[in-house]
């Protein structure tokens, strides 16, 4: 019973400020639950009336976690009923290394629309969730560009496991969380406690965005030791990244090797039909009436990732409300011009040159000087031309002029070459998407 309320608290923690959560919610306790009624004990000294201000959010969180429509009431309880838990050493350390992002109750398998481009990743994640004690896919490594659903699947695994068996000790955290935990424990001389905690107090470990460990060799070394211990004990590990482990820069070879022990699956951008299905699903979740024509228009014009599709639905709702008007094509077109990554953004050419120069480690002056240059310079220059054409309304002639007065046919050839390689080499396609995401106005 208390486990459900703790999961509800995790949900609320992600929606409330730290001050509000710690003051009014952190020490609350579920003391009774019957069909249609749940009672939460409030620590002495707090005003029960305060919770009325959060009743809608609490009801949403409680329903999402417990699948119970019952109202949640906050009451003072006799001192012998409400007894704040005295932390054991393990609980104390759990609080010491508490992740910044808790599991979100909104991430579930039932509201994930995989389509053909993410079906394998979806099936693998569901298989792990259904059999967390198995070792068939251990580790499970999911990779893909930002906004395609990696975090959704990762947290769905955790939510599913806890629903089936609340006694399972599931830890979800970002790679940044783990890095910060390591540094904090290093400073406090608690590395041994950290190691013992992960080895002895974790059944399923979910780590998001391991590409952020680039160059953090001490963090990588600590995780390597923890990984080995968990894997040998048959504990499930699931990791996500924006690229395959072998393509993550400055990731140690031994981690790359360990991550290949299980199953590696990728998520690719959804096709038009899948984007339509996602939009229908998101609209249904929010009880919105959107015509098939508008759904089709959005799906065709927002091709980058699922996060942008969700953003479109939210903006449609907001625009419709502000204009006191049903969602129609005019509102849809307004939303698309605001957020669609497929529409060319006005980014500076200098920003493109800088990003390409940084990645290929080629001086910007070498990129724009006359002449062909080395093979590496030529490749970097083609990529820069392609990105300039993709991310700005500049003409082919203007792009050529930027690169030492090259003819527009040279620019056309560069763009075609990059597109062809993207179609045949998924890793190169991911690189281009990653560069796009790093370039700003």
> How large a percentage of the chain has pLDDT more than 70?
87
How many folded domains does the chain comprise?
Answer: 4
Asked if the model's pLDDT at residue 90 lies above 60, the reply is no
The confidence score (pLDDT) of residue 340 equals 55
Asked if the model's pLDDT at residue 417 lies above 60, the reply is yes
User: For 53-67, 185-199, 268-282, which range has the lowest pLDDT when averaged over its residues?
Assistant: 53-67
Separation between Cα atoms, residue 30 and residue 12, nearest integer Å: 15
Looking at residue 245, the DSSP 8-state letter turns out to be G
Residues 239 and 382 in one domain: no
Asked if the model's pLDDT at residue 137 lies above 70, the reply is yes
b/e sequence 388-414, b meaning 16+ C-beta within 10 Å: bbbbbebebeebbbbbeebeeebbeeb
Residues 282 and 316 in one domain: yes
Residues 151 and 183 in one domain: yes
Identify the band that residue 134 occupies on the pLDDT scale cut at 50, 70 and 90: confident
Instruction: Tell me the binding residues.
Output: 147, 149-151
Instruction: Tell me the binding residues for ATP.
Output: 147, 149-151
Checking DSSP bridges between strand 37-42 and strand 29-34, what pairing results, if any? antiparallel
- 93 in a structural domain: no
CATH of the domain at 50: 3.30.300.180
The domain in which residue 414 lies consists of 349-438
- C-beta pairs of 58-66 under 8 Å, 24+ apart in sequence: 58/8, 58/12, 61/8, 61/11, 61/12, 61/15, 61/105, 62/8, 62/38, 64/11, 64/105, 64/106, 65/4, 65/7, 65/8, 65/11, 65/105, 66/4, 66/8, 66/38
Separation between Cα atoms, residue 251 and residue 5, nearest integer Å: 39
- Rounded to two decimals, what is the model's pTM? 0.59
148 in helix, strand or coil? coil
Residues 374 and 356 in one domain: yes
Residues 305 and 324 in one domain: yes
For the segment 3-55, what is each residue's pLDDT rounded down to a tens digit?
678 778 877 776 666 667 777 787 788 888 777 778 888 876 666 777 877 77
Separation between Cα atoms, residue 54 and residue 78, nearest integer Å: 24
Residues 337 and 355 in one domain: no
């Amino acid at each position: 019973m208390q486990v459900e309320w703790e999961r509800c608290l995790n949900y609320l923690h992600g929606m409330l400020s730290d001050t509000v959560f710690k003051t009014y919610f952190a020490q609350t306790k579920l003391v009774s639950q019957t069909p249609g009624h749940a009672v939460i004990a409030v620590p002495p000294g707090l005003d029960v009336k305060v919770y009325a201000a959060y009743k809608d959010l609490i009801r949403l969180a409680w329903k999402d976690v417990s699948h119970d429509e019952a109202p949640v009431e906050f009451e003072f309880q006799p001192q012998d009923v409400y007894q704040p838990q005295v932390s054991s050493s393990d609980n104390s350390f759990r609080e010491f290394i508490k992740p910044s992002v808790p599991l979100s109750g909104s991430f579930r398998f039932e509201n994930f629309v995989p389509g053909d481009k993410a079906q394998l990743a979806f099936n693998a994640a569901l298989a792990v969730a259904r059999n967390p004690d198995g070792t068939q896919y251990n580790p499970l490594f999911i990779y893909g560009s930002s906004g395609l659903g990696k975090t959704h699947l990762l947290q769905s695994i955790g939510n599913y496991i806890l629903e089936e068996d609340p006694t399972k000790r599931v830890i979800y955290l970002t790679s940044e969380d783990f890095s910060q935990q390591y540094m904090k424990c290093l400073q406090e001389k608690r590395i041994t406690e950290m190691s013992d905690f992960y080895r002895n107090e974790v059944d399923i470990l979910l780590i998001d965005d391991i590409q952020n460990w680039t160059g953090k060799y001490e963090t990588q070394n600590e995780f390597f030791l923890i990984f080995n211990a968990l894997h040998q004990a048959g504990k499930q590990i699931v990791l996500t990244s924006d690229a395959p482990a072998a393509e993550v820069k400055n990731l140690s070879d031994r981690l790359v090797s360990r991550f290949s022990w299980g199953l590696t699956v990728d998520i690719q951008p959804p096709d038009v039909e899948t984007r339509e299905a996602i939009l229908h699903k998101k609209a249904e979740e929010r009880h919105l009436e959107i015509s098939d024509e508008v759904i089709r228009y959005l799906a065709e014009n927002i091709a980058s990732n699922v996060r942008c599709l969700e953003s479109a639905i939210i903006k449609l709702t907001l625009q419709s409300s502000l204009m006191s008007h049903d969602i129609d094509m005019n509102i849809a077109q307004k939303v698309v011009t605001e957020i669609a990554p497929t529409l060319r953004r006005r980014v500076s050419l200098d920003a493109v040159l800088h990003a390409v120069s940084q990645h290929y480690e080629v001086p910007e002056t070498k990129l724009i000087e006359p002449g062909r240059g080395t093979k590496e310079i030529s490749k970097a220059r083609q990529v820069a031309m392609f990105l300039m054409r993709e991310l700005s309304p500049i003409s082919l002639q203007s792009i050529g002029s930027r690169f030492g007065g090259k003819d527009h046919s040279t620019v056309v050839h560069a763009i075609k070459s990059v597109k062809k390689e993207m179609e045949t080499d998924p890793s190169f396609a991911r690189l281009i998407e990653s560069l796009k995401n790093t370039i700003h106005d």
